[in-house]
Structure 1
Amino acid sequence: MNAPSSPVRFDDARPRALAVAYDVAAEGTDVLLVRDVLGRFALVVDDRTKDIPALRSAAWSERLASELQRYSADRPLLLSSELFSADDLLGSDRAQPDPLRQPPTGHGSVRILDNTVVGQDWAHVSTPSVEPDGTRTHRTALYGFKGGVGRTTATAMLARYLADQGHVVLVVDLDLESPGAGPLLAAGTLPPRHGIVDQLVESAVGNADGLELVAPTGYRPSTGRGELWVAPARGRDTPDVAYSYVDKLNRVYADIPGMGFSDRLETAVRASEGAVACESESGRRPDVVLLDSRAGIHDIAAVTISRLCDLALLFGADNRQTWGGYGDLFAAWRSSGQARAIREKLRMVASMVPDSPQRPMDTYLESFREHSWECFSVLYDDDVPEPQSGRLVPGAFSPSLEDDSAPHHPIPILFEPGLIGLDADSAPGWQDRAFVQAAYRQFLTTATLLITADPQNYEGPR
Structure 2
Amino acid sequence: MQERQRVTFDGCIPRMVASVLEVCPEADFSRMRVVRDMHGRLYLVVPDDWSDEALVAVRQRLRETLGPYSPGEDSGVGRCSDTLAGEALFWEPSLMYWVEDTGVQVVERRAMGQDWVHQPESEREAHCPRLVFHSLKGGVGRSTAMMLWGRELVRQGRTVLLVDLDLEAPGLGAHMLPVDSRPDYGVLDWLVEDLVGNAGPDLMREMVAESPLAESPGLWVAPAVGRRTMDHPDNVLAKLARAYLEGEDGNGFAARLRRMIAELEAQVRPEVVLIDSRAGLHETVAATLLHLQAEVFFFAVDVPATWEGYRYLFGHLSRLASVHEGPWGGGDWRQRFHMVQARSGMREADKRRFASNAYGVWVDTLYDELPPISESAEEDELSPATPPGKEEWAFTFDEQDPEGPHWPLAILRSDHFEAFNPMEQLAEVGEHAIREAFGEFFQGLEAVLSLQEDANR
TM-score when normalising by structure 1: 0.85
Structure-to-structure mapping, 1:218-367, within 5 angstroms: 218-220=212-214, 227-237=218-228, 244-257=235-248, 258-276=250-268, 285-336=269-320, 337=322, 341-355=332-346, 361-367=347-353
> How far does residue 455 in structure 1 lie from its aligned partner after superposition?
5.1
Amino acid of the residue matched to residue 297 of structure 2?
L
| Partner Cα distance (1:143, 1:456) in 2 | 24
Cα distance in 2 for partners of 1:400, 1:44 equals 40
**Aligned residue for 2:45?**
44
1:434 to 417, 432, 436: 432
Counterpart secondary structure, 1:453:
helix
**Whole-Å separation in 1 of the counterparts to 2:42 and 2:229:** 52
Is the CA contact (8 Å cut-off) linking 1:169 and 1:229 kept in structure 2?
yes
2:128 and 2:229 mapped to 1: Cα distance?
A: 32
Supply the distance in 1 between the matched residues of 2:274 and 2:165 (Cα, whole angstroms): 10
Alignment partner of 2:400: what SS? Answer: coil
Alpha-carbon distance, 1:369 to partner: 1.0
The CA distance in 1 between the partners of 2:124 and 2:404, in whole Å, is 27
Q: Given that residues 403 and 409 in structure 1 are in contact (C-alpha distance below 8 angstroms), is that contact kept between their aligned partners in structure 2?
A: yes
The SS at the match of 1:351 is strand
Which residue is 1:358 aligned to?
A: none
CA separation of 1:275 and 1:22: change in aligned 2, threshold 3 A: farther
- Measured in 2, the distance between the counterparts of 1:418 and 1:130 equals 40
The 8 Å contact of residues 34 and 42 in structure 2, kept in 1 or not, is answered as yes
- For the residues of structure 1 that align with 2:271 and 2:301, how far apart are their CA atoms? 30
Specify the alignment match of 1:88 in structure 2.
88
Aligned counterpart, 1:145: 136
Match of 1:374 in 2: 360
How many Å separate the matches in 2 of 1:128 and 1:195? 29
Query: Counterpart amino acid of 2:367?
Result: Y
Counterpart Cα distance in 2 of 1:374 and 1:43: 34
> Within 1, Cα distance between the matches of 2:122 and 2:272?
13
Moved more, 151-160 or 21-30: 21-30
The answer as to whether partners of 1:213 and 1:275 remain within 8 angstroms in 2 is: no
Q: Which amino acid aligns with 1:449?
A: A
CA distance in 1, matches of 2:127, 2:124: 5
SS in 2 for 1:117: coil
Shift of 1:204: 0.2
Question: Are 2:187 and 2:207, in contact at CA under 8 Å, matched by a contact in 1?
Answer: yes
Aligned amino acid, residue 77 of structure 2: L
Q: Residue 177 of structure 1 is aligned with which of 165, 168, 174?
A: 168
Structure 2 residues without counterparts, runs of 5 or longer: 383-390
SS of residue in 2 equivalent to 1:344: helix
Label 1:117 to 1:238 Cα distance change in 2 as closer, same or farther (>3 A): closer
Judged with a 3 Å threshold, the aligned counterparts in structure 2 of structure 1 residues 287 and 127 are, in CA distance, closer, same or farther, namely farther
Matched, 1:216 2:215: no
Mark the CA change 1:84 to 1:416 in structure 2 (over 3 Å): closer, same or farther: closer
CA distance in 2, matches of 1:457, 1:255: 33
Name the SS of the counterpart of 2:243 in structure 1. coil
CA distance in 2: counterparts of 1:326 and 1:186, whole angstroms: 32
Between stretches 335-344 and 405-414, larger displacement belongs to 335-344
Q: Which residue is 2:4 aligned to?
A: 5
Q: CA deviation at 1:309?
A: 3.6
Runs of 4+ off more than 6 Å: 238-243, 391-395
Shift, 1:275, TM fit: 2.0
RMSD: 2.8
> Which whole-Å CA distance do the structure 2 matches of 1:12 and 1:382 have between them?
23
Of 383, 407, 419, the match for 1:409: 407
Of Structure 1 and Structure 2, which has the larger fraction of its residues in helix? Answer: 2
Counterpart residue number, 1:397: 395
Task: Please report how far the alpha carbon of residue 240 of structure 1 lies from its aligned counterpart in structure 2 after TM superposition.
Answer: 8.3
Deviation at 1:16, TM superposition (A): 1.4
Letter in 2 for 1:86: G
Task: Please show how residues 104-143 of structure 1 align to structure 2 within 5 Å.
Answer: 110-127=104-121, 135-143=126-134
Identity of aligned residues (%): 30
Identify the range of structure 1 (184-193 vs 7-16) with the bigger mean alpha-carbon deviation. 184-193
Residue 102 of structure 1, CA deviation: 6.4
Amino acid at match of 2:146: T
Deviations 1:149-202, CA, capped at 9 Å, x for gaps: 100000001111222233221110000001112221224771211100111000
Offset of residue 331 of structure 1: 1.1
1:413-435, Cα deviation, whole Å (9 max, x unpaired): 00111211122232243564311
CA contact (8 A) 1:430 1:436 kept: no
SS in 1 for 2:162: strand
How many residue pairs are counted as aligned between the two chains? 430
**Native 8 Å contact 1:138 1:457 kept in 2:** no
Q: Which of 383, 389, 393 is equivalent to 2:370? A: 383
Mean CA deviation greater in 29-38 or 384-393: 384-393
The one-letter amino acid paired with 2:35 is V
What's the CA shift string for 1:237-292, capped at 9, x where partnerless?
4998778333322321234331212222222222222221xxxxxxxx11211110
What SS is found at the alignment partner of 2:262? Answer: helix
Q: Relative to structure 1, is the Cα distance of residues 297 and 252 closer, same or farther in structure 2, using a 3 angstrom cutoff?
A: same
SS in 2 for 1:349: strand
1:53 maps to what in 2?
51
On the 8 A contact 2:343/2:413 being kept in 1, the answer is: yes
Contact kept, 8 Å, 1:128 with 1:308, in 2: the verdict is: no
Q: Secondary structure at the match of 1:407?
A: coil
- The SS at the match of 2:284 is helix
Q: CA deviation at 1:128?
A: 8.1
- Given that residues 323 and 372 in structure 1 are in contact (C-alpha distance below 8 angstroms), is that contact kept between their aligned partners in structure 2? yes
Work out the CA distance in 2 between the residues paired with 1:70 and 1:195: 44
**Aligned-partner Cα distance in 2 for 1:287–1:128:** 22
- Against the structure 1 CA distance between its residues 70 and 318, is the aligned structure 2 distance closer, same or farther, given a 3 Å change threshold? same
For the 8 Å contact 1:21–1:110, the answer to whether it is kept is no
Task: Mark the CA change 1:439 to 1:110 in structure 2 (over 3 Å): closer, same or farther.
Answer: closer
> Structure 1 residues 102, 41: CA separation in 2 closer, same or farther (over 3 Å shift)?
same
Structure 2 counterparts to residues 181-196 of structure 1, below 5 A: 181-187=172-178, 190-196=181-187
Give the direction of change, closer, same or farther, for the CA distance of 1:98–1:241 in structure 2 (3 Å limit).
closer
